[in-house]
Structure 1
Amino acid sequence: MSLIEVNACDKLDAIVPDEEYILYNEKLNKRNPEWSFSIVPGFFKQSAPETDDLTYNSFDDHLGLSDGLTWPSLVAKLDELNKSSDPSKERYKLIFSARHGQGYHNLAVQIFGIDEWNNHYSHLEGATTPDGIKLNWAPDPFLTEKGQNQAKLMNATLKKEIKDFNCPLPTKLFSSPFTRSCQTLYITMDGICMNNKIEDSEKPLIAPSRLTPLIKEDLRETIGEHLCDKRSDKSTIEKRLNGWDFRFENGFQHDDIYYKDDWREPIHEQALRANSFLQDVFSNDEYVNDQIVYSTSHSGEMKALIIATGHRQYAVPTAGMIPMLIKAVKN
């Protein structure tokens, strides 16, 4: 059994009803977005319809890089696409979109089952398992030991791809504000383009310089009802990330002003958030020229990004990742 693999809950989470796509497009058109997004086909196996998302293991297959491509050839094609396009009308970016490792809420779903989770346990801060173990998963849970090990596996996989196969380094990092997402990102990037300034300030990096991840509210998990999806306040997040040098986006609120106990965000609304994230990534002057970026978020948010980019529906396990070569066209 692999440390990172799709389970039945992941597959169920990946399904998007047709009416949600319809609602998303109706509401998006009313917003008059600056850019429209699509996936450039042929670069990654995750976007190919013949790839079985239940069995495919991208960790043993260059993160899903299509046959016949190398990382240097992909970067060359990305460079060519951007150089041959008018940037005021068309832009391309490679986004490594990753899901956080197993959190204590994921473990609770595994123990109690998805129906019991949705109907009962998701509204609690924790419970005692049938084995007599007390679990706490809300609000804003940490990674389990398995989740940390999953992120360490991703770290080792990325280092191998970078050192042995010239996988490109991201030049910008983004994260959801939730602890499980930030933890996954700093474990994944430790020794690559991040280190802890307090504990490991002298640790060598593969990247030429240290990157500072930007925490964005748009990358958070589906809002409402589930207590695990209520975020910590800003001060708590800062304490939990001490030494890792994360930065908050402008306007980030100290308290979670979005969470509600009696309302759950529909997936089409979350996809509109994902679209807002992409609009920013492709147009913000701070990182408009970053061709290769890495984001860490959640199963619901990755489903939302799939809707926003037109990527095919794809189940992503805890600590899984989908590389997306995205085309943005000016509306």
Structure 2
Amino acid sequence: MTWVDARLTEDGSRLARHLGNLWVEWDAMGVPLPETLYTSPLARRLETTMLVYEPVMAKHGRSLRPVVKELLRERLTNHTCDKRSSRSWIAETYPEYVLERELEMVDTLWKKDRYETNDEHVARKRRLLEDVFANDKSTFVSLTTHSYAISAILEVVGAPHFRVSERAINPLLIKAEEVEGEPRGTDW
């Protein structure tokens, strides 16, 4: 069975819409909106980003312009659900999304006979965070990603490990501060 770039399930859509409604409520309470939205290039997260943020952005007259980041995707396994669709499919399906230059036309990261080790995945998430912190001057950003990716991010920032379950939406807040005298990207 092939399940290339698995789409969001009905239950996943329901949960994403629920989180979108929560954002509208949080906004009414004064919770600041993310200035930059980043999303995984996998179809299920592209749709999640739209369902979660479109209602609250529309309320403010802001267009939904998330940045699609290749390094934000799930841990790479030989499962076909981890193979992403082409750059052209993403551009055609989500024309309002901004595709980073590093997003190649076809998925060159996924291999049918290779699992990314946890160390490799954590290193990829470290590169992602270093890129975001070095190049995005926003105070508040959103990363829409996957369960194993969240676990890897927790490891990068030195947070206590917990297993994020699939089919769940887990808001996670990370505060990053540059430490004076420390080389950038070495201390989280």
Task: Describe the shift of the 1:247–1:257 C-alpha distance in structure 2 as closer, same or farther (beyond 3 A).
Answer: same
Partner secondary structure for residue 250 of structure 1: coil
RMSD, matched Cα: 1.5
Amino acid across the alignment from 2:105: H
Partner secondary structure for residue 313 of structure 1: coil
Question: What aligned pairs does 1:33-48 form with structure 2 within 5 A after superposition?
Answer: none
Cα offset, 1:264, TM superposition: 0.2
Partner of 1:71: none
Q: d(CA) in 1 for partners of 2:97 and 2:62? A: 15
Q: Is structure 2 residue 38 aligned with structure 1 residue 174?
A: yes
Give the greater-gyration-radius structure (CA).
1
Partner of 1:257: 108
* Deviation readout 1:103-144 (Å, 9 max, x if unpaired): xxxxxxxxxxxxxxxxxxxxx31xxxxxxxxxxxx1101111
Partner secondary structure for residue 251 of structure 1: coil
Task: Describe the shift of the 1:247–1:263 C-alpha distance in structure 2 as closer, same or farther (beyond 3 A).
Answer: same
Partner secondary structure for residue 55 of structure 2: coil
Q: Is structure 2 residue 47 aligned with structure 1 residue 224?
A: no
Q: Is structure 2 residue 158 aligned with structure 1 residue 310?
A: yes
Partner of 1:139: 4
Task: Describe the shift of the 1:206–1:314 C-alpha distance in structure 2 as closer, same or farther (beyond 3 A).
Answer: farther
Q: d(CA) in 1 for partners of 2:7 and 2:169? A: 14
Partner of 1:273: 124
Q: Is structure 2 residue 175 aligned with structure 1 residue 325?
A: yes
Q: d(CA) in 1 for partners of 2:60 and 2:158? A: 31
* Deviation readout 1:203-257 (Å, 9 max, x if unpaired): xx23353241110110011113111101111112223324xx1011113210011
Partner of residue 241 from structure 1, selected from 94, 100, 103: 94
Contact 1:282 1:328 in 2 (8 A): no
User: Which ranges of structure 1 fall in alignment gaps of 5 or more residues?
Assistant: 1-123, 126-137, 194-204
Partner of 1:74: none
Moved more, 306-315 or 151-160: 306-315
Partner of 1:213: 66
Question: What aligned pairs does 1:1-331 form with structure 2 within 5 A after superposition?
Answer: 124-125=1-2, 138-163=3-28, 165-193=29-57, 205-207=58-60, 209-242=62-95, 245-284=96-135, 287=136, 289-317=137-165, 318-329=168-179, 330-331=182-183
TM-score when normalising by structure 1? 0.52
User: Which ranges of structure 2 fall in alignment gaps of 5 or more residues?
Assistant: 184-188
Amino acid across the alignment from 2:11: K
Q: d(CA) in 2 for partners of 1:207 and 1:280? A: 28
Contact 2:70 2:102 in 1 (8 A): no
Amino acid across the alignment from 1:300: Y
Q: d(CA) in 2 for partners of 1:255 and 1:149? A: 30
Higher percent of residues as strand: 1
Partner secondary structure for residue 272 of structure 1: helix
Q: d(CA) in 2 for partners of 1:251 and 1:315? A: 29
* Deviation readout 1:15-39 (Å, 9 max, x if unpaired): xxxxxxxxxxxxxxxxxxxxxxxxx
- Greater RCO (CA < 8 Å, at least 6 residues apart): 1
Contact 1:179 1:240 in 2 (8 A): no
Contact 1:171 1:211 in 2 (8 A): no
Cα offset, 1:302, TM superposition: 0.6
Contact 2:87 2:105 in 1 (8 A): yes
Amino acid across the alignment from 1:219: L
Amino acid across the alignment from 1:229: D
Amino acid across the alignment from 1:182: L
